[in-house]
Amino acid sequence: MPESAIRLSFVENDVAVLSIDLPGKGANVLSTAVLEELSAHLDVLEKRTDLAGLVIRSGKPGTFLAGADLREFVASLGAPKDRIAAMCQRGRKLFQRLSQTPFVTVAAIDGVCLGGGAELALWCDRRVMSDSHKTQFGLPEVKLGLFPGWGGTARLPRIAGLGNAVEIITGGESITPDAARTLGIADDVAAPEKLDAAALAVVRDEQKSRQFLADRQRWSGPIAISETELAFLGATASGYIQQQTKGQYPAPLAALNVLVEGATQTAEAACEAEAAGMAELFGSPVNAALLNVFFLGDRNKKDTGIATDAQPRPVKRVGVIGAGIMGSGIAAAFVRREIPTAIADAAPEALARGTKLVLEEVSYNKHLKGVDVERTLKFAPLVNATTSDDELAAADVVIEAVVENASVKRQVFGRIEAKLKSDAILATNTSTIPIAKLAEGLKRPEQFCGIHFFNPVRKMPLVEVIRGPKTSDETVATAVALAKQIGKSPIVVNDGPGFLVNRLLLPYMNEAVELLLDGAKVEHIERAAKAFGMPMGPFTLFDVVGLDTAVNAGLVMHEAFPDRTVVSAVLPTLIKAGRHGQKSLSGFFRYKHHSSKGEHDPEFDRLIGPLLRETKPLSRDDLTNRLFLPMVLEATRVLEEHIVRDVRDVDLGLIYGIGFPPFKGGLLYWADTLGAAKIVEMLKPYEALGTRMQPTTMLLEMARTGGKFYRP
């Protein structure tokens, strides 16, 4: 018999406790087997006449319930709508029993309580939460293209209020224990070690007051809200959601409709409508794509980055060379996780500015919307700002983040390597320069690798760990573990110009310039990219990155791939005119008063006009195909050259690194939805443009055999 996942005990003779603890798992999930166990326990407990209460808790400290078993969800993709609705009804009716028992039910929540786990807690009469920083409550289903399907859309608005439920469910963000108490979701908040006692106290209070019975009755009916209030809430929330999702994510709006319509119905009728609505979303292209993104992230969390059993070395101190935007951002990422960090720069003025940026970033308090003095006092001792290389000698890992120039970087390495501990790792934050080239002259190339952060470091989750020809497994494993230690998502990439993300980004950026020269308007190209789902258009991205930086990266790529990297005079012309992007307040756009929103600039038209070629009309499809198909082609070359170990690294890298639209599931996932044969056909009108628009051997073979990037 399989080991039980739910253990029944009694904290006192008349108070039962169900402890959920999946054997061999780091977190509890609600699989079919667990739900069946819960049902069996309720079958027994519901018959008891001597119980005052039932407490449901986790047997895993620091985690309550992470939600439903999504692998079972995937197995049901493509099932008929009536079967999906029935699945929702079964789960909801099981949880609903927690609000129908002859005794009070209490969820004791310590740690993550999400999705189906949050719905289980909502169906309990009462909820107590620990005040641990790990404890959070949320219904994030919209991030998977769904909404709660086990009664959450009916239960939460009746407990916390319709407006609060709309915000929590359509936004998909988690809330803290204190916020949950303020909203009436949590009835008490206690220290983790006192949580069980707090749950027992709630049982005893309810045993006396019997208030839970009155609440059961109240929560079973419609919500008390006027038609005017309901209409206003629906209209304002709908407008906000459409502005945020741009029509690309249907689940939040569908959730809003279910919440608003269910408000005037009984809870039972609202649950029926919820199940029907879930059946419409489940298995949709967006749902399937977002599930793929979830599994990409889940795989990344478990990936050590290597195929051997080499273990990462402990990292207690780090050093960062270069106090510019990237260097200060990298240093702040370590300091925020309380890792002592030395930040070095030869220029005292740059060092002062960079150190100020580090402290401002780590001391920022989002509630105060500014610097928190207490946080400054806490983190300041962890920062060692220095102009001396000797101060880096104690670091376990040193990351170089100076100008993107191979000669300058090698000079830094030659100066630093001898000062480091014999087992220290030296790394570079280069975005395009091959590791083999930078490792020339190093005495310990096996302890050298790329650790490439993305700008802005505080927001971008991706880190590329680049393995050079001589980089050891231990070095790679240490870099991967260190990135995860500071909350980043690392992918391991083999050496090569541009590595992964920039190698795939450059064809997109390159083609945007070529489209401009072919007569497409800047605003039309920008609009096509954003309509596809990119967070910003390519020319805005040029301005954010900096045109001079883009030129340097482009030269590296042109040197490596001259057959498909087109050199034009556009960027040099703009740079010569002093237009470097947002940092100079002009690039492809003009930026007034340091605004991040660009405006059209007639001077740009004057500069670019002489460079334009003989033009022909370009459709929206032309713009989209020419922007994104070269990325697919370059991805096939990356796979052929074994730059990455798995196609999923390509997709995760682009989603986390450049904001490739998650609702498309990733670049290669999207390509699979089109099919290789269709992509080959889509390329035919553009093949005269040269190698960059011609199908590769891999793509042609996939078209011939019906192959896919994601193989079963």
Q: Please report, for the domain that includes residue 220, its CATH number.
A: 3.90.226.10
Angstrom distance (rounded) from CA 342 to CA 358: 11
Q: Cα(266)–Cα(263) distance, rounded to whole angstroms?
A: 8
CA distance 624 to 486: 36
User: Quick one: 579 and 476 in the same domain?
Assistant: no
Are 345 and 487 found together in one domain? yes
The answer as to whether 655 is a domain residue is no
Identify whether the C-beta of residue 100 lies closer than 8 Å to the C-beta of residue 113.
no
Buried b / exposed e along 638-655 (16+ C-beta atoms within 10 A): bbeeebbeebbbbbbbbb
226's torsion region: left (phi>0), alpha (psi -120 to 50) or beta? Answer: beta
Cis amide linkage into residue 456, ω under 30° from 0: yes
3-state secondary structure 255-268: HHHHHHHHHCCCHH
Distances (CA, A) of 613 to 83, 513, 514, 517, 568: 57, 12, 10, 6, 12
- pLDDT of 1: 44
Q: CATH code at 486?
A: 3.40.50.720
Last residue of a domain, one of 260, 283, 306: 283
C-alpha distances (whole Å) from 65 to each of 28, 58, 68, 106, 107 are: 5, 7, 8, 14, 11
Tell me which DSSP letter residue 654 carries.
H
Strands 448-453 and 462-467 come out as antiparallel
**371 pairs with which residues across the strands?**
364
Residues 372 and 435 in one domain: yes
Burial class, 153, CB count within 10 angstroms (exposed 0-12 / middle 13-18 / buried 19+): buried
**Residue 16, both tokens:** 């039962």
429, 324 contact by CB (below 8 A): no
Q: Is residue 110 part of a domain?
A: yes
What is the distance between the alpha carbons of residues 152 and 73, in angstroms, rounded to a whole number? 17
- Nearest CA among 409, 449, 709 for reference residue 552: 409
Taking the C-alpha atoms of residue 122 and residue 107, their distance in angstroms, rounded to an integer, is 8
Structural domain contains residue 710: no
Asked whether residue 291 is assigned to any structural domain, the reply reads no
Q: Give the DSSP per-residue string, 11-48.
A: EETTEEEEEE--TT-SS--B-HHHHHHHHHHHHHHTT-
Low-confidence residues of the chain: pLDDT under 50 = 1
Question: What pLDDT is stored for residue 594 in this prediction?
Answer: 73
Quick check: 334 and 486 in contact, CB under 8 A? yes
We report the CATH number of the domain holding residue 624 as: 1.10.1040.50
Q: Are residues 535 and 428 in the same domain?
A: no
Strand segments (E) across 401-502: 425-428, 448-453, 462-467, 489-494
Alpha-carbon distance 259 to 223, whole Å? 11
Residues in CB range of 522: below 8 A, 6 or more apart: 516, 539, 588, 589, 600, 604
- Return the structure tokens found at 677: 């044969």
Give dist(CA 560, CA 567) in Å, integer: 13
Domain boundary pick from 451, 468, 495: 495
Q: Are 147 and 167 in contact (CB under 8 A)?
A: no
Tokens of 265: 């119905």
Residue-by-residue DSSP string for 664-712: GT-HHHHHHHH-HHHHHHHHGGGGGG-GGGS--HHHHHHHHHT--SS--
Catalytic residue among 41, 133, 367, 452: 452
594 tagged catalytic: no
In a domain, 551, yes or no: yes
* pLDDT at site 542: 95
Question: Can you tell me the distance from the alpha carbon of 359 to that of 689, in angstroms, rounded to the nearest whole number?
Answer: 50
Residue 484 and residue 527 in one domain:
no
How far apart, in Å, are the Cα atoms of 115 and each of 169, 369, 645, 671, 692? 10, 29, 32, 30, 44
Element (H, E) at 90: helix 81-96
- Give yes or no: residues 32 and 143 share one domain: yes
What does the alpha-carbon distance between residue 274 and residue 258 come to, in Å, rounded to a whole number?
A: 6
The confidence score (pLDDT) of residue 371 equals: 86
Check whether residue 117 and residue 239 sit in a common domain.
yes
Domain containing residue 404 = 318-495
> Is 82 a domain residue?
yes
Q: What is the 3-state secondary structure (H, E, C) of 323-341?
A: CCHHHHHHHHHHHHCCCCE
647 near 710, Cβ under 8 Å?
A: yes
Contact of 662 with 288, CB cutoff 8 Å: no
Do 379 and 465 share a domain, yes or no? yes
Among residues 283, 309, 338, which one ends one of the domains? 283
Instruction: Flag whether the pTM goes above 0.85.
Output: yes
Length of the chain: 712
Instruction: Say how far apart CA 358 and CA 355 lie, in whole Å.
Output: 5
Q: Are residues 348 and 366 in the same domain?
A: yes
Same domain, 27 and 162: yes
pLDDT value for 392: 95
Those residues whose C-beta lies under 8 Å from the C-beta of residue 545, and which sit 6 or more positions away, are: 455, 581
Alpha carbon of 466 to those of 395, 442, 462, 668: distances in Å?
Answer: 20, 16, 13, 21
Query: 275 and 77 in contact (C-beta within 8 Å)?
Result: no
**Using CA of residue 626, residue 628, residue 632, residue 638, what is the dihedral sign?**
positive
Find out whether 483 and 451 touch, Cβ atoms under 8 Å.
Answer: yes
Domain membership flag for residue 668:
no
For the stretch 559-562, contacts whose Cβ atoms lie closer than 8 Å and that sit 24 or more positions apart, written own/partner, are 559/497, 560/496, 560/497, 560/498, 561/497
The domain total for the chain is 3
Per-position DSSP letters for 98-138, written without gaps between them: GGTSSSEEEEEE-SEEETHHHHHHHHSSEEEEE--TT-EEE
Residue 665 lies in a domain: no
Mark whether 405 and 521 lie in a shared domain: no
With H, G, I as helix, E, B as strand and everything else as coil, classify residue 578: coil
- Please indicate, yes or no, whether residues 193 and 220 belong to a single structural domain of this protein: yes
Q: Are 657 and 454 in contact (CB under 8 A)?
A: yes
Please report the pLDDT score of residue 2 as a whole number: 61
Comparing C-alpha atoms, which of 57, 66, 67, 54 is closest to residue 16? Answer: 54
Whether residue 667 contacts residue 710, with contact meaning beta carbons closer than 8 Å, is answered with no
